[in-house]
Amino acid sequence: MLTPLLTETAKRASTLFTQEERSLLDPQHVPHHIAIIMDGNRRWAQNEKLKAVAGYWEGAELLIEIVRASAELGVRVLTVYAFSTENWFRPENEIEGVMELFEFYLTHKRELMVQEGIRLDVIGDITKLPSKVQAALQETRSATASGTQINLVLALNYGGRDEIRRAMLKIIERHEREPIKKEELTETFISQFLDTSRWKDPDLMIRTGGDMRISNFLLWQLSYSELYISDKFWPDFTPKELLRALLDFQSRRRNFGK
């Protein structure tokens, strides 16, 4: 269970926002769980006349800052779309560069995550990732397991349809061990077999890069999430942009169809 106690490192990170900026938010209505589609890395690199992978590196450097900002504003879970099941269709050299980035990031940001109280987790079918990435991921998850400031959930080799397919397979396996009655197949029951069963569904989904779609991301979980589309490419999405998204979220009335 996450606690509100700030580490000394997290307190130092509070300079990301002024007291006046933090006072704009109602602390009782900060989204508990935010999901982010970090789009626009390649377009950012193209604008900067750089190779596509440079955009991913720039975006990775930004991520820790956004995690810090989220924790400071009271967000407890941040799920980011890092690599989709469809991303395997991109150029091979680009995929190799992204996998090298994952390994480097998970290894070299590990101690920082520990210091910041960031608890790392993952959703998706990670068995198809390179063994070095899987090893780095497991080590970082173990090292950060006691983090209390915020849960950072990486969606790696993740697709919403694939998640539902894998959930169905788990339900079938469960049925083979212990027959399931049809009246047991409630939404709550099905949710227990999803990758995200440990967390509440996202209150807010942010997509950078301007595109108006959810791209096979958290199809089940986003059913009643508020959506916020930013024209900023991910490497340009600053903590101030995050604050703007949360202020927009708080201006809405959520009635869940009632």
Digit-coded pLDDT (tens) for 122-144:
999 999 999 999 999 999 999 99
Q: Of these residues, 26, 87, 195, 255, which one is catalytic?
A: 87
Q: All domains of the chain, ordered by start, with CATH?
A: 30-158+201-239 (3.40.1180.10)
Collect contacts of 102-105 with beta carbons under 8 A, ≥24 apart.
Answer: 102/129, 102/133, 102/136, 102/137, 102/156, 103/130, 103/132, 103/133, 103/136, 105/60
**What is this structure's pTM?**
0.92
201 classed as catalytic: no
Q: Is 39 marked active-site?
A: yes
Model confidence pLDDT, tens digit, residues 210-221: 999 999 999 999
Q: Are 155 and 83 in contact (CB under 8 A)?
A: yes
pLDDT of 194 higher than 90: yes
Per-residue pLDDT band at 8 (split at 50, 70, 90): very low
What is the percentage of the chain residues whose pLDDT exceeds 70? 94
Query: Looking at residue 7, what is its pLDDT?
Result: 42
Q: Under DSSP, is residue 208 helix (H, G, I), strand (E, B) or coil? A: coil
Give 56: exposed, middle or buried? Use CB within 10 Å, 0-12, 13-18, 19+. Answer: buried
